[in-house]
Amino acid sequence: MKDDVRRGAAPKYSDPEEFQEKIDDYFDSIIKRNGEWIKPPTVSGLALHLGFVDRRSMYHYRDKDNFYAPVKRAIAMIEMYHEEKIAEGKNCAGNIFALKNFGWSDRQEVVQKGETTIEWKETKTYEKGKGKLKKLDETGT
């Protein structure tokens, strides 16, 4: 039974500099020499280029001290791409959707600070008993 237990794969990268070079290679592969994108950068595309099976596997590297900055910077570059497309103002609904998935928000949030005062008013309570309504006095009877 122990042989059937799945174990995690060995780490793909142990050197943060090699990892950064592979990230740079991804961006170089999708951008023309004049700075225009051949195809849009994506988190999934980056993860696959780095040799991971999915983006979540790449996010595990973000949690490691030496790999945090390269992953965060790469994701920031992908966000920048979507920001630039929105700034162009042409058919940018997909870019807005992508940024929302990165945690961005396009709504305004109003935060109200201060004290709240609640006033209690005494009310009369009635209960139904034996087909008639009777008034409860202060003792509840």
DSSP string, 58-115: HHHHHTSGGGHHHHHHHHHHHHHHHHHHHHHTSS-HHHHHHHHHTT---S------S-
Confidence at residue 135, expressed as pLDDT on a 0 to 100 scale: 56
Angle between helices 68-88 and 55-62 in degrees, nearest 10: 120
Q: Is the pLDDT of residue 4 over 60?
A: no
Evaluate whether 52 touches 26 at the Cβ level (below 8 Å). no
- Which one is predicted more confidently, 28 or 139? 28
Q: Which CATH number fits domain 12-101: 3.40.50.300, 3.40.50.10470, 1.10.10.10, 1.10.132.80?
A: 1.10.132.80
pLDDT bracket for residue 132 (50, 70, 90): low
Model confidence pLDDT, tens digit, residues 22-49:
999 999 999 887 878 899 999 999 999 9
Residue 66: name the closest of 28, 27, 26, 18 by CA: 18
Evaluate whether 61 touches 16 at the Cβ level (below 8 Å). no
Model confidence pLDDT, tens digit, residues 72-102:
999 999 988 888 887 888 777 777 767 777 7
Rounded to an integer, the average pLDDT of 111-138 is 63
* Range name among 3-12, 78-87, 115-124 with the lowest pLDDT average: 3-12
Q: Is the pLDDT of residue 141 over 50?
A: yes
Report how far residue 36's alpha carbon sits from residue 8's, in angstroms, rounded to the nearest whole number: 38
Confidence at residue 34, expressed as pLDDT on a 0 to 100 scale: 83
Confidence at residue 115, expressed as pLDDT on a 0 to 100 scale: 78
Rounded to an integer, the average pLDDT of 2-23 is 74
Report how far residue 96's alpha carbon sits from residue 125's, in angstroms, rounded to the nearest whole number: 54
Confidence at residue 21, expressed as pLDDT on a 0 to 100 scale: 95
Report how far residue 88's alpha carbon sits from residue 93's, in angstroms, rounded to the nearest whole number: 12
Evaluate whether 70 touches 20 at the Cβ level (below 8 Å). yes
